[in-house]
Structure 1
Amino acid sequence: MHPIQENKMGIKPIPTLVLSMSFPIMISMMVQALYNVVDSIFLAQYSEVALTAVSLAFPMQNLLIAVAVGTSLGVNSLLARKLGAKDFEGAEKAANNGLVLSFFSWILFAIIGLFFSKIFFGFFTDDPELLRMGTQYVSICLFFSLAIFIDITCERILQATGDTVHPMIIQSTGAIVNIILDPILIFGLFGLPSMGVLGAAIATVIGQHVSAALAIYYVRKNKEVRISVKYFKLEKRTVLDIYAVGLPTIIMQAIGTVMTTSLNKLLISFGTAAVSVFGVYFRLQSFVFMPIFGLSSGMIPVIAYNYGAQRPKRMTTTIKVGLVVSLIIMSLGFLVFMLIPEVLLSWFNASAEMLAIGKVALPRISLCFISAGICITIAALFQAVGDGYISMIISITRQIILLIPIAYLLGHFFGLDAIWYSFILAETSSLALTLIFFSKVYKRRILPLYALAKNQA
């Protein structure tokens, strides 16, 4: 039975609400970032080849995450808007259809993992050891990925109802299990055989299944949305509404796969150390970017709920609070990457060549952190009101139209060290485009609500 009282997203003071919604997600994402870093540190101790294999595998994993996160964000946005409009049946259709879509997504990636993993790695190298390690890691992570699809979808369902504490518990528990199992399976502790990259993949899959089991448990206990077999049948209107936000998000994040694959292909021409540095950067920057994505995830249901409830002032206040928090976090991240890159690289048993490349790369890429934080925060508005395609356009412009061509030109004419400037140039252009779209969305979506509220008063 649905509660008749107002959801906290419609009445709680915005600064407190945004922080209470976002903080648990930020913590869980930080734990996830910690897992990614620790995983790479262990593999770097095992061998540099193992670290390179996992770095090359990142685009394929990113593609999987893109589909899972994109679909679940579509569910999150639609569900929160339905709750704001008091359409409880529509909210339940969104949640249940989202779970069914997750199952079909898993089937696709299981097939990719079984039949295309070796082909993917063959694109980068013919080194038999690198090919073997990379194929093992990707095929296992993709074939057993149903758990991560269920986990992420259930977390977004909970977040849409205002519950961000249980998603924190879910993700943190899985990541901690993963961190504990990593050294045991990679190095063969307690009498187990040393499995290297294969052990890292198994630890990842086990952690994801633990998270999925907890996610199902907490969703079934949630009182605002019911999981029911009668809504498992896909409904065209609901699916279209989910993917109105979800598909652009999937494409936007999948573009990251194209970007990292293209840059890895470029960087490997300068040596495997360059690929390893790029992989290390992505893991380190997750400590900075994951909290911002957590902040954005906490903002989306707040904005969507109040959009559905026609409360524009709460929407704009949410955006302002998000921008302030984002600027603080990104400024701190920029200072760390700028001042102590050698310390960060030393965590990964970096060779002299990796250190020489990384102490140039990390400070230069960090120059784009603040503008990236603004873009991610404002994108929460686009996704919350159903204009997710805007984020897709911005992402295509930044990563495909600008970043990759600029990186290839700088690398060709000026060498490896110049490649890192491509991130700054692309992100600055992305910020300008984001602000233009924000102005248009504000005029089209929010200003009419202010006018409506004024007339009603």
Structure 2
Amino acid sequence: MKKEMDSQRLGRAPLGRLMVSLAVPAVAAQLINVLYNIVDRIYIGHIEGYGDVALTGVGVTFPIIMLISAFSAFAGMGGAPLASIELGRKDVGKAELILGNSAGMIVLFSIVLTIGFSIFKTPVLYAFGASDVTITYAQSYIGIYLIGTIFVQVAVGLNTFISGQGESRTAMLSVVIGAVLNIILDPILIFVMDFGVRGAAMATVISQAVSAAWVIRFLTCERSVMKLGVRNMRLRADIVKRIAGLGISPFIMQSTESMVSITLNSGLQNYGGDLYVGTMSIMTSIMQLILIPVQGIAQGVQPIISYSYGAGDKKRVKDAFMRLLASGLLGTLVLGGVAVFVPKVYAGIFTNNEKLIQLTCQVMPVYFLGITIFGLQSACQSTFLALGQAKVSLFIALLRKVLLLIPLAIIFPKFMGVMGVYRAEPVADIISVVTTGIVFTFTMKKILGNMDKNHTSKEA
């Protein structure tokens, strides 16, 4: 009875307080989660004698790490909104079937990714922008990181099913435990044990393993509204199709981050050199710091929108979206504004190399200009996901990275030199945000209209 009441509060509790109770832990979890890679880079960048080169080497592993995370998003973010909708419809059995199939997909992805990247990591890293100077550090880091692929996939992918049932504090704790452990282990393994770059990767793997154990423990205990069971992990074509239809959008958003990173790093290497690739390593981490709070708010609000949609509460869906839009836009305006107007606040965190800091501060205002208004796109994208609108969400995901940023990052440098690589980002961001706003305005009315029809037919 208590579990049922916990899930129903998504549709009944006062919206403002509920959003805060769900969004704050989700934001904290997202921020803490990003510390896994950022803390590694901070420590690595300050290794005496070779920190700047090692930082650049670890930076080129980012596309692999993002691709691993993208597959976890494919299964987790594709399944969790569907499970929340089923909870809104009071069908716990269907929600558990979706959870189980998502877990089965995660196990399969982990096996394939670990084997594939372990075999081909060297040519892949060169393709991603590594040089003969940085390749050793890139190989050392990613070689160990790949061992923990299954832990990363479980910790990131299945955690969405915890927040998806309104347990955002528990979801946050699963991330906090691992992140705190990572922060403790990093200096011990990097400096005290003198493992260097390999120590940073070892700390991450151990920490993610602990987080994964926490997630599994919760999803199999009595407190969880929907339970993870082995019998539901057997993949069913109809369930996988539904998960894939919705999961393809967050997958593209994250996997294209890898494609973008490859394109940008390659362009910077060709037109500038290792120092320019180093700026991108720093700015990639800063981009995470800016977007993660906004994505955390969206992750906290998504279950409310999904549950309310399943329950047929049109007003609550609209109110939740408007609050999500306001908070997301405010977040990117403030955090992105710091990168544009006072870039040294961010740049000095990652390195003590004055040349690298100076160059990063020079290009950062250009690179982050468009991200200041990105909160609008984030809110629209998250709402489409929460409502199960796979096709529209897929278009928005493809637009910014695949259709705009990658082509522009290839074309601009031919006319502008190395600065063209940096200028491609704000142009793509601004066009994408404007287009998303127009698409959302014209499609949301239709979605809510269909929602009214479906709810009326059920009552009849």
TM category (shorter chain) comes to over 0.9
Are the counterparts in 2 of residues 112 and 142 from structure 1 also a CA contact under 8 Å?
A: no
What TM-score, normalized by structure 1, do the two folds share?
A: 0.94
| Aligned mates of 1:197, 1:36 — CA distance in 2 | 12
Aligned pairs for 1:87-236 within 5 A:
87-124=91-128, 127-187=131-191, 189=192, 192=193, 194-221=194-221, 222-236=223-237
Deviations 1:1-58 (A, max 9, x none): 8855461111012222222111101011112233433221111112211101111000
Equivalent AA in structure 1 for residue 42 of structure 2: I
- Matched residue, 1:409: 411
- Matched residue, 1:351: 353
| Aligned mates of 2:419, 2:125 — CA distance in 1 | 25
Shift of 1:442: 1.1
Aligned counterpart in structure 2 of residue 294 of structure 1, from 296, 312, 315? 296
Shift of 1:73: 0.7
| Aligned mates of 2:93, 2:333 — CA distance in 1 | 43
| Aligned mates of 2:231, 2:95 — CA distance in 1 | 14
1:7 aligns with 2:8: yes
Deviations 1:157-195 (A, max 9, x none): 1111110001111101111111111111112x1xx2x12
- Matched residue, 1:323: 325
Shift of 1:418: 4.0
Equivalent AA in structure 1 for residue 422 of structure 2: W
3-state SS in 1 of match to 2:227: coil
Equivalent AA in structure 2 for residue 99 of structure 1: A
Unaligned runs of 5+ in 1: none
- Matched residue, 2:269: 268
Q: Which moved more, 1:211-220 or 1:131-140?
A: 131-140
Deviations 1:269-306 (A, max 9, x none): 20111111111011122222111111111122111111
Determine what percentage of the aligned residue pairs are the same residue.
Answer: 26
CA gap 1:3/1:202 in 2 versus in 1, 3 angstroms: closer
| Aligned mates of 2:130, 2:325 — CA distance in 1 | 46
Q: Which moved more, 1:148-157 or 1:253-262?
A: 148-157
Are the counterparts in 1 of residues 405 and 425 from structure 2 also a CA contact under 8 Å?
A: yes
| Aligned mates of 2:454, 2:72 — CA distance in 1 | 37
Shift of 1:426: 0.6
- Matched residue, 1:60: 64
CA gap 1:161/1:283 in 2 versus in 1, 3 angstroms: same
Equivalent AA in structure 2 for residue 376 of structure 1: S
Equivalent AA in structure 2 for residue 171 of structure 1: V
- Matched residue, 1:28: 29
- Matched residue, 2:336: 334
3-state SS in 1 of match to 2:184: helix
| Aligned mates of 1:67, 1:96 — CA distance in 2 | 16
| Aligned mates of 1:293, 1:4 — CA distance in 2 | 27
3-state SS in 2 of match to 1:144: helix
Aligned pairs for 1:237-248 within 5 A:
237-248=238-249
Unaligned runs of 5+ in 2: none
| Aligned mates of 2:167, 2:117 — CA distance in 1 | 33
Q: Which moved more, 1:104-113 or 1:246-255?
A: 246-255
1:364 aligns with 2:405: no
What TM-score, normalized by structure 2, do the two folds share?
A: 0.93
3-state SS in 2 of match to 1:67: helix
> What's the Cα RMSD here?
2.1
| Aligned mates of 1:206, 1:385 — CA distance in 2 | 36
| Aligned mates of 1:453, 1:247 — CA distance in 2 | 27
CA gap 1:200/1:223 in 2 versus in 1, 3 angstroms: closer
| Aligned mates of 2:103, 2:20 — CA distance in 1 | 28
Equivalent AA in structure 1 for residue 424 of structure 2: S
CA gap 1:125/1:33 in 2 versus in 1, 3 angstroms: closer
CA gap 1:124/1:73 in 2 versus in 1, 3 angstroms: closer
3-state SS in 1 of match to 2:158: helix
| Aligned mates of 1:240, 1:440 — CA distance in 2 | 27
3-state SS in 1 of match to 2:167: coil
- Matched residue, 1:42: 43
Deviations 1:393-427 (A, max 9, x none): 22322222221222233322222234322111111
CA gap 1:395/1:223 in 2 versus in 1, 3 angstroms: closer
- Matched residue, 2:399: 397
3-state SS in 1 of match to 2:134: helix
1:83 aligns with 2:87: yes
Are the counterparts in 1 of residues 337 and 372 from structure 2 also a CA contact under 8 Å?
A: no
Shift of 1:124: 5.0
Q: Which moved more, 1:423-432 or 1:357-366?
A: 357-366
3-state SS in 1 of match to 2:449: helix
Are the counterparts in 1 of residues 396 and 436 from structure 2 also a CA contact under 8 Å?
A: yes
| Aligned mates of 1:124, 1:385 — CA distance in 2 | 35
Deviations 1:42-79 (A, max 9, x none): 11112211101111000111011011022101111110
CA gap 1:247/1:400 in 2 versus in 1, 3 angstroms: closer
Aligned pairs for 1:365-384 within 5 A:
365-384=367-386
Shift of 1:141: 1.4
Q: Which moved more, 1:360-369 or 1:22-31?
A: 360-369
3-state SS in 1 of match to 2:195: coil
Shift of 1:94: 0.8
How many residues in Structure 1 have an aligned counterpart in Structure 2?
453
Shift of 1:437: 2.5
Q: Which moved more, 1:87-96 or 1:152-161?
A: 152-161
Shift of 1:220: 1.8
Aligned counterpart in structure 1 of residue 287 of structure 2, from 267, 285, 288? 285
| Aligned mates of 1:361, 1:42 — CA distance in 2 | 23
Deviations 1:319-371 (A, max 9, x none): 10111111221121123212321232222224343233211221122221232
